Amino acid sequence: SSSKWSGKNGLTWKDGASGTISNSLVEKSLTNGIAILNASLPTVSGNAIKHSTQYAVYLSGNSPAIFINSTVIGNTFNGIGVYGTMASATWFADLPYIITQYLILESTIALSLQPGTVVKFQPNTSLSVRGTLDATGTETSPILFTSIKDDEYGGDTNNNGAATKPSAGDWGTLYFADTSSDTLSNLIYVKVRYGGASFNYGTGTSTANLTYDSASTAIDHSVFEYSAAYGIQLINASSPSITNSQFSDNLNHGIWLSAASSPDFSECLFVRNSGYAIYQAASSRATYSGCYAAGNLYNGIGVTGSLNANVTWGNNLPYIVIGTVTLEINTTLTLQSELVIKFQSGAKMVINGQLLSQSVESHPVFMTSIHDDSIGGDTNNNGTATSPAKGDWDSVSFTGTSGTSSFTYVVMRYGGSSSGTGMLYFNGGSPSSTSPLVIQGSLYRGVYCVNASPYLEYASITENAVGFYNGTNGYPTVMYSNIYGNTSYGIQNANTTFTMMATNNWWGSASGPTHSSNPGGTGDAVSSYVNFTPFESNPIGQLPGMLPAPWPAPNPTTVSGTITANTTWGLANSPFLVTGTVTVNPGVILTIEPGVVVKFQTGSSLVVNGALNAIGTTENRITFTSIKDDNVGGDSNYDGTATWPRPGDWVSIAIGPSSIDSLTKLQNTIVRYGGGSGAVQTDAASPTISGNLVTQNSSYGLRIINTSAPNTSTNYILDNLGGGIKLETTSSPVISDSQFWGNNGYAVYMDSTCYPQLSENTAYYNTVNGVRNAGTVSFNQTWSADLPYVIDSTITIAAGATLTLEPGTILKFNRGAVGITVDGALAADGTETAAI
């Protein structure tokens, strides 16, 4: 049937009408093509709707209509405009749904979105979930929430060609209220884009693509991008699990977290956000593992305010203190080993509660300037534009209620901006344990003590104006420490009623400190009322390098040559320094413990002809990197900042034909600054390669050749100069659930002799976000509906061979005489919802 030139809606279904609208032509309606109103539930199938003045379909929210195989052309809005009170329904991946006003899913309402569904928002609209929203997409058919102007998904829905482009803040937010169902709602394989306009949720406003208000729906494999402010905003007691998700190009922070929130982030990417990767109130109990931040204004976790909940700060990303963070009474902050805390200008921490450092000798906690790239990387994302300086930040102060704290194996650098205190400030209190410490590079006083009785031993206090200043009511002790290189005093005691015990220290000279009672002493000066004898004639333990040197490494364990017996590289002997080529012989197993750092001299490699068992954890990854990389394992080449790591500093981890597939595992590692033709290479080998970050290598991240069939899954392949993965000569790996970002080339490069199994991969911001292919298909193959295949030169399907394309597979062709020649068979059977 057909309807033309209607003065109102072309067809109207209302007041609970059901039935079928099928195979009809509806065109040139004065208002909407088809209107489905007031709890109607027709099946709309195979219709063509053209040139309506308003929406192709206008749908009341309480009408659970079914849409199949619709065609819309030339309507003002080529989609399904949704308005009014919502009822439980399923939305289909047929036409885009267009939110025309603020819509609410009340507490008894459940809305389910099929994979591939596109939801677009008109300006000043939002969707509020007080009930259930099940948005479960797939890797090949994600669910979209985006702007009406976004033609990339769902086509030109506002029918104006290129006249308008989507931009941050085009719409409001996807809001989950405290009554929403955490267990029945899902956000899996979802993309939320171009939102973040101000949304008033009753007790405040949000400016994020996604807002949780005491809600905890799990999020997995999702993308939050181009928000006017935040990718996600967690308000009040929100505690979702957020895994394998990406936050990019948001105009403020990637994530904003309230004080009462307690989310768990795992394997997430934060890229090119215009604020902090994550910004959280200090009391948030958020946890992070396996997360990566690059290209943000600040590549870390910004924290500020009062900390009044028991919290652990982990060592995944640097924490950045903004303003003052105050640890309140009867509250515990635990610092994990190898945690990096950086401070913005003038920032400080005030400890009224219990601060517990879990660090150990070779894995200290670092407290330093936001400009200090030698520890924790380029956190302020400005390359070498700024350098750290003394006085960049203020202090960490312990008050009279902090007495049960433990402040051990902590390195403090570049603080002390206040002339009236010190970088480490014992202000009425001191931790029960404070040894050993490094206090280095304070503009004024390294340590200031007033109304407290700290006991320090095995400390290094250096390059400060005054190393240790004791006020008029302080009663400290400093012993068995290195106090040297301070410009005014090593120790200055202003308490004339107390003689400070400072014996068995090294003062920078075998002659002892400079003091009138020690003629010939040339070390740091000491004031009166300091007992400094006896003193040491040699340094005690290892000294930190002079600023701006990175933290010096423990003496590396040098390895070279051939490993002929089963060997373990243990954490106690980390870092390991590979010189030349280290070869694991056939039948021999090299085991590397979690947390170990392996550094390579220029031109060095690890060749595995036996087995490599390198299994880290998301909290304690194994790192393979350049000797010039001072961010892990310290300054192993002892040259301070004279050299910086670069792609191609070393060659590769090469797993050879005689390697033992079942025992060779590269899991939860970081591989960076390698080169060769691939930082990790397999040659006729099939190991397990999973959960790794492979980044900043001079060629491909992975190179898989000569019938290799490794299982590669859940890897991050980022910023490699050649491309993500290169396949050659009949290799057939499994490549699944991996993310390819910012590689200078194809996400995957291969020819038709190779036969990978691809599933659930994502590719963004590579030179080409797809799988390069060319050549002759000489045996039966199936190409997956995963990343797009990019045909670089003509594909020939040889006689007797069949190439099968899964439904949903995308083939894109480079320009020129490029195509597919079929001498055998091509099976390209798509489906109505998954065209090829």
Percent of the chain with pLDDT over 70: 99
pLDDT average, residue stretch 649-657: 98
Residues 15 and 79 in one domain: yes
| Residue 231 and residue 374 in one domain | no
Region 8-37: mean pLDDT is 96
| Closest by Cα among 37, 65, 31, 66 to 49 | 31
Query: Is pLDDT above 70 for 3?
Result: yes
pLDDT score for 317: 96
Q: 191: domain range?
A: 92-296
Q: What is the pLDDT of residues 239-289, one digit of tens each?
A: 999 999 999 999 999 999 999 999 999 989 999 999 999 999 999 999 999
Q: Is residue 761 part of a domain?
A: no
Alpha-carbon dihedral sign for residues 42, 44, 194, 283? positive
What per-residue string of b and e applies to 795-815 under the rule 16 or more CB within 10 Å gives b? Answer: bbbeeebebebbebbbbeeee
Q: Are residues 230 and 81 in the same domain?
A: no
Q: Which residues contact 717 (CB under 8 A, 6 or more apart)?
A: 694, 695, 701, 702, 724, 725, 738, 739, 740, 741, 743, 747
Separation of alpha carbons 735 and 711, rounded Å: 7
Residue 290 has pLDDT above 90, yes or no: no
Per the model's pLDDT, the better-predicted residue between 554 and 513 turns out to be 513
CA distances from 244 to 263, 264, 460, 691, 829 (A): 14, 11, 42, 11, 31
Sequence-separated (6 or more) residues with CB below 8 Å from residue 519: none
Count of structural domains, the chain: 3
Amino acid identity, position 58 = Y
Report the pLDDT value the prediction gives residue 833, as an integer from 0 to 100.
75
Query: Same structural domain for residues 205 and 289?
Result: yes
Question: Which of 85, 111, 141 is where one domain is finished?
Answer: 85
Percentage of the chain surpassing pLDDT 90? 89
612 occurs within a structural domain: no
Per-residue pLDDT, 7: 87
Shared domain for 71 and 151, answered yes or no, is: no
pLDDT exceeds cutoff 90 at 140: no
Indicate the DSSP class of residue 575: P
Q: pLDDT value at position 335?
A: 98
Domain boundary among 31, 60, 85: 85
Return d(Cα 489, Cα 500) in angstroms, integer: 14
In-domain check, residue 751:
no
- 459 within some domain: yes
Q: For residue 573, which phi and psi values (nearest 5 degrees)?
A: -105, 10
Does 144 reside within a domain?
yes
Q: Provide the token pair at 245.
A: 């998700």
pLDDT in the model for residue 633: 85
CA pair distance 420, 397, nearest whole angstrom: 12
pLDDT, mean of residues 308-335: 97
Task: Report if residue 481 sits inside a domain.
Answer: yes
Pairing relation of β-strands 97-99 and 762-764? unpaired
Across-strand partners of 2?
25
Q: Using one digit for the tens of pLDDT, what is the confidence trace for 561-574?
A: 999 999 999 999 99
289 with 404, same domain: the answer is no
Beta carbons within 8 Å of 417's beta carbon, 6+ residues apart: 345, 346, 391, 392, 393, 394, 395, 443, 444
**53-58-62 Cα angle (round to 5):** 165
Confidence of residue 543 (pLDDT cuts 50, 70, 90): confident
* Backbone Cα Rg of the chain: 31
Q: 236, 262, 296 — which closes off a domain?
A: 296
Decide if pLDDT at 551 tops 80.
no
Residues 127 and 269 in one domain: yes
How far is 720 from 283, CA to CA, in rounded Å? 37
Flag whether pLDDT at 786 surpasses 90: yes
Mean pLDDT, range 319-341, rounded to an integer: 97
Please give the Cα distance from 746 to 764 (Å, whole number).
11
pLDDT of residue 553: 64
Average pLDDT, the chain: 95
Least confident of 16-25, 46-55, 543-552: 543-552
pLDDT at 107: 97
Confirm whether 690 is domain-assigned.
Answer: no
In a domain, 602, yes or no: no
Spell out the SS3 assignment of 409-439: CEEEECCCCCCCCCCEEEECCCCCECCCEEE
Cα distance between residue 705 and residue 657, in whole Å: 10
What pTM was computed for the model?
A: 0.87
* pLDDT digits 0-9 by tens, 44-101: 999 999 999 999 999 999 999 999 999 999 999 999 999 999 999 999 999 999 999 9
pLDDT digits (tens, 9 = 90+) for 703-756: 999 999 999 999 999 999 999 999 999 999 999 999 999 899 999 999 999 999
